[in-house]
Amino acid sequence: MAKCALFPICGGCQYRNMEEDDYRRQKQDKFAKVMQAIKQENLKIAVPVFIPEGTRRRAAMTFSYIKKHLRMGFNLSKSHDIADCHNCPLLSPKLNANIENVRQMLSEICAEPFPLKKGKKVLMQALNKGDVLICEAENGIDILLEFPYALTLTHRMIIAEKANLYSDIIRISWRSSPTAQAETILEKTPPFIINSGIRVYIAAGTFLQASSAGEQALIETVRKYLGQCTGKIADLFCGIGTFSYALAQNKNNRIYAADSSVALLKGFQNTINTNQIPNIQVEARNLFKYPLDEKELASYAAVVFDPPRAGASAQAESIAKAEKQPPVVIAVSCNPHTFVNDANKLIEGGYTLKEVTMVDQFVYSMHTELVALFEKE
């Protein structure tokens, strides 16, 4: 376990004070305790997967600029104040190597006032806070700046100068809010990740699994649970296609991938087109409101769903009530508590939870992910 100068004031690592064996034991015990709420006897919990620290490929940091001093990092425990971070043991070496570069760029951006219109007047306003998302792609570092003030020519020149100075940084974008469209300010080359041997180009702010190792562990567990099952497979809440690419490698499979994010699906479809993958069909669909219904489910050999923390209650209920149910359902979850609700719906619908695997991707935190296999006897 690496030492961290910000523990315990930083809110990111609640368990960093524990020895490795004690930490893993506590994480497994807490996971098993949550699983006790599942309404099935003889629940099989597989050997857990622990992802090592120092592998995180993305970080969402906040920053403040007060009295010409920049603070950048994660929130303090139970506070909105910032733990000023210069190095984080959770992050990959390349991310850590570029934290100071990002800090220097933000300091210069904040030092240059922004013009704001107040009626007929234009006032100069200093930028005193914002967020920055840093992501390590396969070919370099992708940065997304987030604050409400529009960039001036001077700010854009600062960004261009810094991007050219720092060789690892390949793209810098800006958006005014989490829901706003990101604008690319400078791009040396499009960032991409590798998934199942496929080069997947990512848009600024794209949701990715926290680490490449964690992503691969989830993919391999889904493939293991799918086993010899082939045919028409649904990949629900598919995002950028994390599981679809792996499942489509078997040419006997036909993948239906659905998600509500049009932006993510646009990139997904571009990757499908570029790589000429014939057996993936993509559709924009709000699965919370419009889950696959009984008629649609009848044609599927398997359903894989990986919902946000809120879970997949509507889809689980629809599967449970279907007259002709998919023989295999694989649930991926970042929230064991909402997973329990989904699992109980499937069990009440006649499914057996064969096995669940804990994947500890968010090291030293309270968060846990899982993959579970349900089969219809």
Domain CATH for 90: 2.40.50.1070
pLDDT of residue 1: 64
Answer whether residue 8 is part of any domain: no
User: What are the strands of the beta sheet with 69-75, ordered from one edge?
Assistant: 82-84, 69-75, 58-66, 129-137, 140-146, 169-175, 183-187
The span from the first CA to the last CA of the chain, in angstroms, equals: 44
pLDDT digits over 46-88, tens only? Answer: 999 999 999 999 999 999 999 999 999 988 777 778 989 999 9
CATH, residue 225 = 3.40.50.150
Answer whether residue 143 is part of any domain: yes
- Distance, in Å, from the CA atom of 227 to the CA atom of 221, rounded to the nearest integer, reads 10
Answer whether residue 2 is part of any domain: no
Whether 287 has a pLDDT exceeding 70, the answer reads yes
Structure tokens at 272: 């499908």
Could you tell me if 41 and 63 lie in one domain? no
Could you tell me if 261 and 285 lie in one domain? yes
Quick one: DSSP state of residue 251?
Answer: T
Structure tokens at 174: 């800006």
Q: What is the mean pLDDT of residues 160-166?
A: 93
Answer whether residue 9 is part of any domain: no
Answer whether residue 253 is part of any domain: yes
Whether 37 has a pLDDT exceeding 80, the answer reads yes
Could you tell me if 33 and 92 lie in one domain? no
- Residue 238 sits at φ, ψ, to 5 deg, of -75, -20
Task: State the residue for tokens 């139970």.
Answer: 78
* Reported confidence tier of residue 122, pLDDT bands at 50, 70, 90: confident
Could you tell me if 40 and 118 lie in one domain? no
Those residues with Cβ within 8 angstroms of residue 257's Cβ, 6 or more apart along the chain or in another chain: 234, 235, 238, 241, 244, 265, 268, 280, 281, 282, 283
* Number of domains the chain contains: 2
Mean pLDDT of the chain: 94
Could you tell me if 249 and 313 lie in one domain? yes
Q: What is the mean pLDDT of residues 276-294?
A: 96
Whether 355 has a pLDDT exceeding 90, the answer reads yes
* Reported confidence tier of residue 238, pLDDT bands at 50, 70, 90: very high
Could you tell me if 235 and 365 lie in one domain? yes
Name the percent of the chain lying above pLDDT 70: 99
- Distance, in Å, from the CA atom of 21 to the CA atom of 42, rounded to the nearest integer, reads 26
> Residue 291 in 3-state DSSP?
coil
Q: What is the mean pLDDT of residues 355-361?
A: 97
Q: What is the mean pLDDT of residues 27-36?
A: 96
Could you tell me if 168 and 242 lie in one domain? no
Q: What is the mean pLDDT of residues 93-112?
A: 96
Could you tell me if 169 and 124 lie in one domain? yes
Look up the domain containing 264 and give its range: 20-53+208-376
- Residue finishing a domain among 191, 226, 242: 191
Answer whether residue 64 is part of any domain: yes
pLDDT of residue 16: 85
Could you tell me if 65 and 43 lie in one domain? no
Could you tell me if 32 and 93 lie in one domain? no
- Residue finishing a domain among 191, 224, 247: 191
Q: What is the pTM of this model?
A: 0.93
Could you tell me if 151 and 71 lie in one domain? yes
Answer whether residue 294 is part of any domain: yes
Answer whether residue 196 is part of any domain: no
* Reported confidence tier of residue 4, pLDDT bands at 50, 70, 90: confident
- Residue finishing a domain among 191, 225, 259: 191
Whether 8 has a pLDDT exceeding 90, the answer reads no
- Distance, in Å, from the CA atom of 100 to the CA atom of 77, rounded to the nearest integer, reads 23
Could you tell me if 181 and 243 lie in one domain? no
